[in-house]
Amino acid sequence: AQKITQTQPGMFVQEKEAVTLDCTYDTSDPSYGLFWYKQPSSGEMIFLIYQGSYDQQNATEGRYSLNFQKARKSANLVISASQLGDSAMYFCASRGNSNTGKLIFGQGTTLQVKP
């Protein structure tokens, strides 16, 4: 069974600074995908970034990058140059090669950006 662990319930960061949100995963699937989603206070789930287990390079999408360390089973999200609009809850999720389309989510990390 897959499991995602996010150990930081809440974090603060100063505007314009970088912040790392931690995510560790546990899976027995030989191949899998790792996702990060953002949930602002309005409630919707916004896809941010994807990393495949066989990808050689760390994924990047604008100010978001994923620090993927396969041996450590970690997939930390790095947000550079934080903005006030980055204040939200962030979820790490994994998807294995089952036929369910199922995403396994962590508990989430609430990020607050201070002006």
Partner 1 sequence: EAQVTQNPRYLITVTGKKLTVTCSQNMNHEYMSWYRQDPGLGLRQIYYSMNVEVTDKGDVPEGYKVSRKEKRNFPLILESPSPNQTSLYFCASSFREMNTEAFFGQGTRLTVV
Question: Are 4 and 103 spatial neighbours (Cβ–Cβ below 8 Å)?
Answer: no
Tell me: does residue 52 bind partner 1 (CB under 8 A): yes
Location of structure tokens 């390079």: 57
Using the minimum distance from each CB to partner 1, give the nearer residue, 78 or 103: 103
Q: Which of 25, 32, 68, 90 binds partner 1 (CB under 8 A)?
A: 32
What gap in Å lies between CA 76 and CA 64, rounded to an integer?
10
What gap in Å lies between CA 38 and CA 54, rounded to an integer?
24
Residue numbers 81-100 binding partner 1 by CB under 8 A? 91, 93, 95-97, 99-100
What the block records as the tokens of 1 is 């069974």
Q: Which residues lie near partner 1 (CB under 8 A)?
A: 4, 31-33, 35, 37, 43-45, 47, 50, 52, 91, 93, 95-97, 99-103, 105-108
